[in-house]
Amino acid sequence: MAFVTTAEVCDANQDLIRSGQLRALQPCFQIYGRRQIFSGPVVTVKVFEDNGLIRQFLEEKGNGRVLVVDGGGSLRCAILGGNPVVQAQNNGWAGIIVNGCIRDVDEINGCDIGVRALASHPIKASKKGLGEQRVPLSIAGTRICDGEWLYADTDGILVSHIELSV
pLDDT at 165: 76
Map residue 106 onto helix, strand or coil. helix
pLDDT at 3: 61
Per-residue buried b or exposed e for 93-116, using 16+ beta carbons within 10 Å of the residue's own CB: bbbbbbbbbbbbbeebeebebbbb
Is residue 84 a known part of a binding site?
A: yes
Map residue 16 onto helix, strand or coil. helix
In a domain, 143, yes or no: yes
- Sign of the Cα torsion 72, 75, 77, 83 reads positive
In a domain, 166, yes or no: no
pLDDT at 1: 40
Q: What is the CATH number of the domain that holds 30?
A: 3.50.30.40
In a domain, 1, yes or no: no
Tell me which residue range forms the domain holding 112.
6-160
pLDDT at 10: 96
Q: What is the mean pLDDT of each run of 10 residues along the chain (166 residues)?
A: 79 96 98 97 98 96 98 98 98 98 98 98 96 98 98 97 84
Is residue 81 a known part of a binding site?
A: yes
In a domain, 90, yes or no: yes
- Please tell me the pTM assigned to this model: 0.96
Count of domains for the chain: 1
